[in-house]
Amino acid sequence: MDLNKISSPSFLKELNTKQLQDLSEDVRKFLIQKLSVTGGHIGPNLGVVELTIALHRAFNSPKDKFIWDVGHQAYVHKILTGRADQFDTLRQFKGLCGFPKRIESEHDVWETGHSSTSLSAAMGMAAARDIKGEKNYVVPIIGDGALTGGMALEALNHIGHEKTNMTVILNDNEMSIAPNVGALHNVLGRLRTANNYNKAKDELEQLLKKIPAVGGKLASTAERVKDSLKYLLVSGVFFEELGFTYLGPIDGHNFETLEETLQHAKRMKGPVLIHVITKKGKGYLPAENDTVGTWHGTGPYKMETGDLVKPKTTAPGWSSLIAETVRKLARLDDRIVAITPAMPVGSKLEGFASEFPDRMFDVGIAEQHAATMAAGMAADGTKPFLAIYSTFLQRAYDQVLHDICRQNLNVFIGIDRAGLVGADGETHQGVFDIAFLRHMPNIVIMMPKDENEGQHMVKTAIEYNDGPITLRYPRGNGLGVPMDAELKVLPIGSWEVLREGADATIVTFGTTIPMAQEAADTLAEHGIQVEIVNARFIKPMDEEMLHRLMQSKKPILTIEEGILQGGFGSAVLEFANDHHYSTTQIDRIGIPDMFIEHGNVDLLLEEIHITTEETVSRIQKLVIKDIKDQAGIKA
């Protein structure tokens, strides 16, 4: 079938089983070919081909609402709703988003890039439906990994209590980004092996009905026997106890079974949970055989072999550098433990886990728990390294504030993927952490100019015992600078001058330092000498140096790959105001008050004017204005 000609999923209702199977193969071939060029979430989408087709066949989108948890498994949904012809632009600048996007299609009714939100959103949509007296179906699709998130469990509890009409699809592929952990995962494991549970339960019920009930006594005894069998076959039938009708587990790649179960669920009142077993990466051997999460989401790859197309660089990856430095120090300090919320692969902690299995804790998709657990461990004398993406740290805001900072506990937070991350887009851009951390008392925030300074910051964080300390580091690779053999501790709050200059000062840190240096070279050609300061400690700032800069009355330009409101530049402005430096010109470059969509990072930076050219222009304007001010000329 030519998938580019699909405009709506309504055609699925006319297909027979053989045609549905052929369509599934066409979709898989399409995804394997397209994603080999663009990269993307190949494993999750190959696993839900039949399930997505069956859902669109059984329900009527967009009247019926499909809510995809996380959303990275919605590529098949996009194909069936008329977007196949845009897949060459998937996750590219101004192209098709890798997650559901409301402005893309009426069939995308909920946007998400974070886990465990679908059930709460579904409860909201179902409640709104019932208030309006409408009759549509609400169908959240949630993975077994996402089900470990606290928000998902809160929603399950509420939905079951209210007996809300809803069909929940539990897509159980036994693995999310990394192998799942936790007691709930073990419950699902037992359910997967209980294939005959529903059959046995039904047969027992029929048998009991044939036994004459004498005075009701036998009936009550029989009910207890039936209930006991339930617990015998499936230890702790979790979903039924929460108020759901549980159907499954069923084969998520079998159209007849899927259709029969979905139609049965549609006829039932109250919340129904269909437990669907799928194979992540199905149809592409490299993805099928993946046991560590490599094929959850990839860059481009060679379709024939499955070999990943890696960037040509000898510089270390930031996540590896930080994790391996922590590992090196852990050999000398048995206080050090590592904690991650389901990201041991992304944060490159496999080596730490292998060497120190008793000191490594993957808590699953539970960012709030991870942060407070780290606080608890710190309170009892260990040195926790909490490795967490900037975008996921947002979810633990209260725990960082209330449990870590308020108690001034020695937790080391590694903020991975800080700054723009590119293809994953607005749900994953790590640009808010400075603004939401900077106002928290007791916290230290650092970001290195290169990987050598990065390893020294790890050492600094481990040795720091005066409260919480954070280290921001970007996605991707370092600069390839020489690495010191011996690690050293940096003075907390210390900045460094990278370049002298008499006419203006650029104060920046991290990934924008090379841009500042390039701009300074260009400005020197025009006779403007610019000082560059590496503001490696975002909090506390180097107040001694700030006083010197302000007193020199040179114009100051701050640059940050973070949100301007409440960010680093705001801190510099606050310092100037608090110390009455009213004559010092201060300008700021950073991310404006908007969400940044997906695309190549360089193109995104150009779009929001965080560029060498913009830096040169801003400095020139500042210097010209400064000259006029000194001469008493009105601008």
Q: Which residues are catalytic?
A: 280, 367, 395
144 is in an annotated binding site: yes
Range 425-458 burial, b when 16+ CB lie within 10 A, else e:
bbbbbbbbbbbbbbebebbbbbbbbbbbbbbbbb
Q: Strand, helix or coil at 172? A: strand
For 123, phi then psi, to 5°, come to -60, -40
284 is in an annotated binding site: yes
Amino acid at 589: I
115 is in an annotated binding site: yes
219 is in an annotated binding site: no
62 upstream amide cis, omega within 30 of 0: yes
CB 472 within 8 A of CB 390: yes
d(CA 208, CA 224): 11
45 is in an annotated binding site: no
Bridge partners of 67? 140
Amino acid at 559: I
85 is in an annotated binding site: no
> How many CB atoms are closer than 10 A to CB 501?
18
d(CA 396, CA 377): 16
CB 438 within 8 A of CB 538: yes
d(CA 197, CA 205): 12
d(CA 91, CA 428): 12
d(CA 281, CA 285): 7
List the strands of the sheet with 444-446, edge to edge: 360-362, 336-340, 383-389, 412-416, 469-472, 444-446, 537-539
Q: How far is CA 441 from CA 75, 232, 468, 568, in A?
A: 43, 52, 10, 16
Q: How far is CA 561 from CA 417, 429, 564, 588, in A?
A: 12, 10, 9, 11
Range 505-539 burial, b when 16+ CB lie within 10 A, else e:
bbbbbbbbbebbbebbebbeeeebebbbbbbbbbb
H, E, C per residue of 113-164: CCCCCHHHHHHHHHHHHHHHCCCCCEEEEEECCHHHCHHHHHHHHHHHHHCC
56 is in an annotated binding site: no
Bridge partners of 275? 170
350 is in an annotated binding site: no
Chain-centre distance of CA 178, in angstroms?
13
397 is in an annotated binding site: no
> Taking the alpha carbons of 618, 622, 628, 632 in that order, is the dihedral positive or negative?
positive
Q: Strand, helix or coil at 8? A: coil
d(CA 306, CA 4): 25
72 is in an annotated binding site: yes
d(CA 73, CA 296): 10
- As given in the structure block, the two tokens for residue 532 are 């560059």
d(CA 320, CA 345): 10
Sequence ranges of the binding site for Mg(2+)? 144, 173
Sequence ranges of the binding site? 72, 113-115, 144-146, 173, 284, 367
Sequence ranges of the binding site for thiamine diphosphate? 72, 113-115, 145-146, 173, 284, 367
